[in-house]
């Protein structure tokens, strides 16, 4: 058996007039994440981690924001596409470990729902670890201007 590890990061601004979707879950909040797709920061970090483990570039190469096809796209569907690519290369997603950093909204109550939503992409919920952290009031996250996420992916053959 061989293993591959990939790392992903993403961040998006919080803006008025957008739904707040993180980890495939719509979260009640007065502002949402700005982006070409649904701007799901957690999905995007996981996508980059999986693509990194595959050696297949990044999310922008596969789903460019210059392509109207991806305007408003559901990021869980984008993740599903990447998981299917993994299978076509005879690899399996063994583990995802992710951390979301946000001052608000509070995310811990939504973690199980996020795991279940992400499982729609083909990664069993029991193979996904999600943690929610704040930035202790520091930087753009601490000022409530945005949300960031980090993810690590382990693939095996």
List pLDDT tens digits, range 2-58: 999 999 999 999 999 999 999 999 999 999 999 999 999 999 999 999 999 999 999
| pLDDT (tens digit per residue) in 76-86 | 999 999 999 99
* Integer Cα distance of 84 and 156 in angstroms: 14
3-state helix, strand, coil in the chain (%, to 5): 35, 30, 35
The residue extents of the domains of the chain are 3-156
pLDDT for the residue numbered 63: 95
- Across 131-157, average pLDDT: 97
Residue 111, both tokens: 């973690």
Q: How distant is the alpha carbon of residue 6 from its chain centre?
A: 13
The structure's pTM equals: 0.97
List the one residue out of 91, 92, 67 whose CA is nearest residue 78: 67
The CATH architecture one would assign to domain 3-156 is: 2-Layer Sandwich (3.30)
């Amino acid at each position: 058996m061989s293993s591959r590890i990939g790392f992903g990061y993403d961040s998006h601004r919080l803006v008025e007039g957008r739904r707040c979707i993180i980890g495939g879950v719509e979260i009640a909040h007065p502002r949402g994440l700005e982006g070409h797709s649904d701007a799901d920061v957690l999905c995007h970090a996981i996508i980059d981690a999986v693509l990194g483990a595959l050696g297949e570039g990044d999310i922008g190469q596969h789903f460019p924001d210059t392509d109207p096809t991806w305007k408003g796209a559901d990021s869980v569907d984008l993740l599903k596409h990447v998981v299917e690519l993994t299978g076509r290369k005879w690899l399996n997603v063994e583990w995802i470990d992710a951390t979301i950093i946000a001052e608000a909204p509070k995310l811990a109550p939504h973690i199980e729902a996020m795991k279940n939503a992400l499982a729609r992409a083909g990664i069993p919920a029991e193979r996904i670890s999600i943690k929610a952290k704040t930035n202790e009031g520091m930087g753009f996250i601490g000022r409530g201007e945005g949300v960031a996420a980090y993810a690590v992916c382990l693939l095996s053959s």
